[in-house]
Chains A and B, each alone.
Chain A
Amino acid sequence: MPSTIKPDTPKPAWEELTLAGQPDPSQLDNIKAQLDLVLLALEALAKVGSEAILQAAADLNLTDVVADRVSLWRLRQSSPLRRGQGRKRLDVEEARALVLIICHLAKQQQELIRRAVALLEQLTEQDREPHQAALLGDYLDTFNNTYQERMEDGERTPTEQLTNLALKLLIDLLFYSAPNGTRRLWLALLDRSTRS
Chain B
Amino acid sequence: MSTSVLRRYTPPTCTLEIAATGSALSRWTDRMVLKNLRFYLSFDDPKLPSEKQVTIKGDRTQLEALCEAVEAYVQTVLNQPSGQLSLLNQPSNSVESANPVNLSQTDLHKFVEAGIYLQPKGLLAHELCLGSLASEESGATIRLTVLQLFDLANALDEYHAEALILPALGRPAWLKSPAGWARAAAALVLAVGATSAVARFVMDVSNPTGHLAATNRQVEITGIQSPPEAPPNLPAPPSPPAISPLPLDPNAPLLPPKPSGEGQPPIDPNSPASISAVPVDQLPAPKSLSDPSASIPTTDGVTTEIPAPTEAPVATLPPEFAQPDIARTSATAIAPIAPLSPSAPEIGRDEARINDPLADAPIESPPVLTDETPVATTGGTVFDTYPQVAEVRQYFEENWQPPDELAQLNQALQYRLILNADGTIERIIPIGRAAAQFIDRTNMPLMGDPFVSALEDRDQLQVRLVLNPDGKVQTFQEGN
Contact = CB atoms under 8 A, between A and B. Distances in A.
Given A33-B246, A194-B237, A195-B282, A175 B150 contact: yes
A111 interface: yes
B193 interface: no
Interface stretch (A42-50, A66-74, A83-91, A156-164): A156-164
A20 B449 CA distance: 10
A59 B20 CA distance: 40
B107 to A, nearest CB: 14
Most buried by A among B154, B340, B440: B440
Interface in B418-448: 423, 428, 439-441, 443-447
A17 to B, nearest CB: 5
A61 B209 CA distance: 39
A72 to B, nearest CB: 18
A1 B150 CA distance: 48
A83 to B, nearest CB: 12
Contact of A196 (B227, B245, B444): B245
Interface string B166-187: 0000000000000000000000
Nearest to A192: B247
A125 B146 CA distance: 12
A5 B391 contact: yes
Given A107-B343, A174-B150, A4 B235 contact: no
A50 to B, nearest CB: 20
Interface residues of B, number: 90
B248 A186 contact: no
Contacts of B451: 2, 4-6
Interface in B220-244: 227, 229, 231-244
Contacts of A135: none
B453 A121 contact: no
A120 interface: yes
A168 B157 CA distance: 22
Contacts of A192: 79, 81, 247-248
Contacts of B227: 60-61
B452 interface: yes
B2 to A, nearest CB: 32
B16 to A, nearest CB: 15
Interface in B66-97: 74-75, 77-82, 85-86
A96 B231 contact: yes
A100 interface: yes
B260 to A, nearest CB: 5
A97 to B, nearest CB: 8
Contacts of B441: 13
Contact of B250 (A104, A129, A151, A194): A151
Contacts of B297: none
A59 B258 CA distance: 38
B342 interface: yes
Contact of A4 (B257, B349, B390, B450): B450
Contacts of B459: none
A127 to B, nearest CB: 5
Given A3-B453, A157-B254, A186-B234, A20 B239 contact: yes
A153 interface: yes
A178 B231 contact: no
Nearest to A24: B240
Given A20-B236, A121-B146, A171-B146, A27 B244 contact: yes
A153 B251 contact: yes
Contact of A165 (B245, B250, B443): B250
A172 interface: yes
Nearest to B78: A188
B150 A127 contact: no
A75 interface: no
B320 interface: no
Given A128-B260, A157-B254, 5 more contacts: A3-B453, A19-B237, A30-B248, A110-B340, A187-B235
Interface of B: 74-75, 77-82, 85-86, 123-124, 145-147, 150, 153-154, 157-158, 161, 227, 229, 231-251, 253-258, 260-261, 263-266, 282-285, 339-340, 342-343, 346, 349-350, 379, 387, 390-391, 394-395, 398-399, 423, 428, 439-441, 443-447, 449-453
20 contacts: A1-B387, A5-B394, A5-B445, A5-B452, A17-B232, A18-B236, A21-B446, A26-B244, A27-B244, A30-B246, A81-B250, A151-B250, A164-B86, A165-B82, A172-B78, A187-B235, A187-B284, A188-B75, A190-B284, A191-B282
